[in-house]
Amino acid sequence: MTASVVRGCTGPEDIARNLSLVREEIVDTAAKLDKQQIAGVARHLVRPGKVFVAGAGRSGLVLRMAAMRLMHLGLTVHVAGDTTTPAIASGDLLLVASGSGTTSGVVTSAETAAGAGARIAAFTTNAASPLAELADALVIIPAAQKTDHGSGVSRQYSGSLFEQVLFLATEAVFQSLWDNADVPADELWLRHANLE
């Protein structure tokens, strides 16, 4: 098996065109988000209990970034699968993301959380998915799924638009919670990792 080879050079015109493509797709998709749905996630985050995040691949990486921001706010946050992550329990919140809403590990995490009496906040493109059915708070991101290569929803590759808008949505949640916390940035910074 041989690796793909990218042929030719990429010039500044290519970069400019694709910066515009990515920016416009993100702006258009973010404008279609249901702000009430996102506010519902924020309301779950301010309730008592620990917060857990679970996602696979690039969606999981976005949720790790969100976990860091929520920790900066002073929430007790854990990343599912890390060695020191405790058991989820009743009253806790599981924050999950899967474009398809069918990613097996993510759905299994949500089923486990539901069985433990925890709440579930989910981001997906698929309102009819198993993940959506488990969610107490659901945000539908109107982007292409990673295997949707021909619908015209996005010209970007394999779920990129979902992940980009997921990042914007989680950052908007953080910013909104922080706006209402009346805590200066210097205080949040004291919680930033110092064992880097």
Residues identified as active-site: 163
Q: Which two tokens stand for residue 105?
A: 């590990």
Task: Write the DSSP assignment of 2-57 as a string of letters.
Answer: ------SPPPHHHHHHHHHHHHHHHHHHHHTS-HHHHHHHHHHHTSSS-EEEEE-H
Q: How far apart are CA 13 and CA 58, in angstroms?
A: 28
Q: Which amino acid is at 111?
A: E
How far is Cα of residue 75 from the mean position of the Cα atoms in its chain? 17
Cβ neighbours of residue 132 closer than 8 Å, sequence gap 6 or more: 101, 122, 124, 126, 138, 140
Q: Is 71 exposed, middle or buried (0-12, 13-18, 19+ CB in 10 A)?
A: middle
Cβ proximity of 137 and 39 under 8 Å: no
Q: How far apart are CA 183 and CA 52, in angstroms?
A: 23
